[in-house]
Amino acid sequence: MSYREFRAPTGLLPVVACLWRNDTLVDGTERVVPDGCVDLVWLGDGPPLVVGPDTGPVVWEPTGVPTCGVRLRQGAAGNVLGLPASAVRDLQVPLTEVWPEAGALSEQVATAGDTAECLRLLAGAVLHRRVTPDPLATEAARRLADREIRVADLAAELGVGERQLHRRVTAAVGYAPKTLARVARLRRLIGADEAPTMSLADQALAAGYASQAHMTDEVHRLTGVTPVRFLEDVRLTAA
């Protein structure tokens, strides 16, 4: 069983982070934690879904067959979907509820029976939208991913007011900037190469948490488990 990511076709690189296939769900469950992305997902049966940006953990149940999806980049979802990404936050909705004109596409995906064909259809539908990400939201997400920064300071660096930053990021990503910052901090906790040799307290400070207690509270809110359990699961998955 495995989860694999594939590079998006060249024409989709500005708006698609990756295509993916997940065999883990054939006969197992999987805990998915917030990553700030919106996915177009096919669960191996039925019509494709739009899976919005989560603000907490979601446990996916076994599907019996491989699943696959197209992951939109942070800052691209609003324009690709044609509505504020916040409208699908914490939701899983049929693609036709977002794109009413996608009835034929939805039927083709539902009956394809093959993940490669489903990915081709979903990627083609995204390409057909011919949209670009919101550059302000994309830059905000990039800076928040790199370091801890106050939203007021981020807005000043980007040359906009906090209200405009809040509106643009919420529409494009699905989170308000402060929520996006919390998710970005969790991703830094996962991504530190030297983390396995560091104490939990040092990992917390390196990721941008005020203290180990702050990290424990935040990790539990976003993932539903303790930092130790969460980091162990992440490393086992990565291995």
* Cβ pair 180, 173 in contact under 8 A: yes
Region 159-176: mean pLDDT is 97
Give the end-to-end CA distance of the chain in Å, rounded to a whole number. 13
Average predicted confidence (pLDDT) for the chain = 92
The topology (CATH level 3) of 135-238 is: Arc Repressor Mutant, subunit A (1.10.10)
Percent above pLDDT 90 for the chain: 85
Q: From CA 206, how far away is CA 73, in angstroms rounded? A: 25
Sign of CA dihedral 126, 130, 136, 138: positive
User: Within 13 Å and on the Cβ side, how many CA atoms surround 209?
Assistant: 22
pLDDT tens profile 116-167:
999 999 999 999 999 999 999 999 999 999 989 999 999 999 999 999 999 9
For residue 236, what pLDDT is reported? 52
Length of the chain: 239
- Is a pLDDT exceeding 70 seen at residue 88? yes
Question: Is pLDDT larger for residue 90 or for residue 238?
Answer: 90
In this structure, of 15-24, 46-55, 108-117, the range with the lowest mean pLDDT score is 108-117
Q: From CA 230, how far away is CA 32, in angstroms rounded? A: 11
pLDDT tens profile 25-69:
999 999 999 999 999 999 988 899 999 999 999 999 999 999 999
pLDDT bracket for residue 239 (50, 70, 90) = very low
Sorted by where each begins, the domain ranges of the chain are 3-129, 135-238
